[in-house]
Amino acid sequence: MTEPLVTTSSQTVGPFFAIGLPWEDGPFVVPAGTPGAFHIAGRMVDGTGEPVPDALIETWQADPDGRFDHPDDPRGAVSSGFRGFGRCATDVNGRFEFLTLKPGALPGQAPHVDVSVFCRGMLRRLVTRIYFPDSDNSADPVLALVDSEFRHTLIASVAPFGYRFDICLQGQDETVFFDV
Amino acid sequence: MRLPTYRRDEESQPPVHWPDYVSNPGRAPKRPLVLMPQRLTEITGPLLGAERVGQHDNDLTVQHVGEPQGQRIVVTGRVLDGDGRPIPDTLLEIWQANASGRYHHNGDRHPAPLDPNFSGVGRCMTDAAGRYTFTTIQPGAYPWRNHHNAWRPAHIHFSLFGQAFTQRLITQMYFPGDPLFGQDPIFNSVRDPKARESMIASFDLDATVPEWALAYSWDIVLRGKNPTPLENEEDEDDD
Ligand SMILES: [Fe+2]
């Protein structure tokens, strides 16, 4: 085998990505009016509890049947038209939101949404996961990797609009971030 | 399930904690990252973008009534995985300062002129061979108050999806011979010299357009796949 190529280094998204990256339909993992759709919304704060107004949050999740429209899904790609992807820049108050459907469980894993966080100050992406409080998360192998003391930071709470999920970069409630 | 997974290449990446970048210590998580073996959600990812690319999105010099100020350049290259395989049909998004070093953004207070004919935003899809091409303006350097007399080397921001959540990358492309490299904590956050240099484009005489534009070429490498799934990972996936 030939020597692998050097992976291009990550660099900060910087303070001015808002000129290019936000999409009008970014927060809509599913179109407005989709039956059963709800919001996952929250706030992102830094180590002093101040809102982070210049972050980009992205989500990736399975469809309600737990499937991905992707050729590397060994169960076969599905063409349900489900985008599965969301992108939302935080506002001046650090708030973000996505309109989506609940992902189905995956083989051996509880329903979850993968999250990427990019912001000024970070040189690389932070990865976390959103789990749902009304699912059985007890046998999930990724939650099992997390110290039980911090597991709650990955579980959204029920809210009138759907689910609330806050992201704390530091502090007592620092969100658990993963190295994938 | 036998899942293809993606190789780690930690050497080539900047650290989570890098205090020379003064807004890093207040934002970088304090607890260590939790190592997560890749599963279905991480080895799949959004395959989208073609429907988002408009006619002039890969030519930042024709997006307005008039032509922008500055040196016209072509930036071209390939998107590859770590094994040199081209990544076709993947969305690239770029944004940059204008020739004077000013972003078309309200928050940019650098007292350099805005250019009404330059937004500094581009998009394109790679072709079947993983190639991309943008036409744009050479971005200016800009000051940014990180430390006394701090200036960012000229750069273009790039965002890429690749084919999996794990391959997602946001980075910056730099220009060869920039005298500002030495004092820039963002460029220097990448400690491996080979990786650092791979963020610098090459001047490409063959790609220049005579009587029209200079050219730079820059290949972008996203994480490559592991040859075979590790046995213990496979066991976990079968839980
Ligand atoms: Fe920049």
| Interface predicted TM-score of the whole assembly (ipTM), two decimals | 0.97
Residues of chain B neighbouring A122 (CB-CB closer than 8 A): 16, 24, 27-28
Q: Is A6 on the interface with B (CB under 8 A)?
A: yes
Using a pLDDT cut of 90, give the percent of chain A over it.
Answer: 92
Strands A167-168 and A38-45: parallel
Task: Quote the Cα angle for A87-A88-A91, to 5°.
Answer: 170
Give the separation between CA B25 and CA A118, rounded to whole angstroms.
15
The domains located in chain B, with CATH, are 47-223 (2.60.130.10)
Question: Could you give all domains of chain A from N- to C-terminal order, each with its CATH number?
Answer: 17-168 (2.60.130.10)
CA angle B70, B102, A51 (to 5 degrees): 155
Q: Residue B11: its chain A contacts at CB < 8 A?
A: 6
B152 CB-contact burial (10 Å; exposed 0-12 / middle 13-18 / buried 19+): buried
Which pLDDT belongs to residue A36?
96
Report pLDDT for B234: 47
Picking from B29, B80, B108, the nearest residue to A5 by CB comes out as: B80
Q: What is the pLDDT of residue B238?
A: 41
Catalytic residue among B103, B132, B174, B216: B103
* pLDDT, position B229: 53
Q: List the single residue in A9, A60, A74 with the smallest CB-CB distance to B1.
A: A74
pLDDT value of position B189: 98
| Binding-face residues of B in 39-58 toward A, CB within 8 A | 39-48, 52
Per-residue pLDDT of chain A (180 residues; tens, 9 = 90+): 578 999 999 999 999 999 999 999 999 999 999 999 999 999 999 989 999 999 999 999 999 999 999 999 988 878 778 999 999 999 999 999 999 999 999 999 999 999 999 999 999 999 999 999 999 999 999 999 999 999 999 999 999 999 999 999 999 999 999 999
Predicted confidence at residue B126, as pLDDT, reads: 98
Q: Which helix (H) or strand (E) holds A45?
A: strand A38-45
Please, which residues have CB within 8 angstroms of residue B50's CB and are 6 or more apart in sequence? B89, B91, B125
**pLDDT lower than 70: segments of chain B:** 1, 228-239
User: What pLDDT score was predicted for residue B87?
Assistant: 98
From the list A85, A79, A51, A49, the residue with the least C-alpha distance to A65 is: A79
- Asked if B152 is an active-site residue, the reply is yes
Give the pLDDT of residue B228: 67
- Find which of B165, B172, B191 to mutate to test the A interface (most A CBs within 10 Å of its CB): B165
Where are the strands (E) in chain B, listed by range? 34-35, 72-81, 91-96, 121-125, 131-137, 142-143, 151-152, 155-160, 169-174, 202-203, 214-217, 220-222
Q: Which pTM value belongs to this model?
A: 0.96
User: Taking CB atoms and an 8 Å cut-off, how many pairs form between chains A and B?
Assistant: 236
- Residue A104 is given by DSSP the state P
**Known catalytic membership, residue B17:** no
Contact criterion met (CB below 8 Å) for A76 and A22: no
Q: Does B166 touch chain A (CB under 8 A)?
A: yes
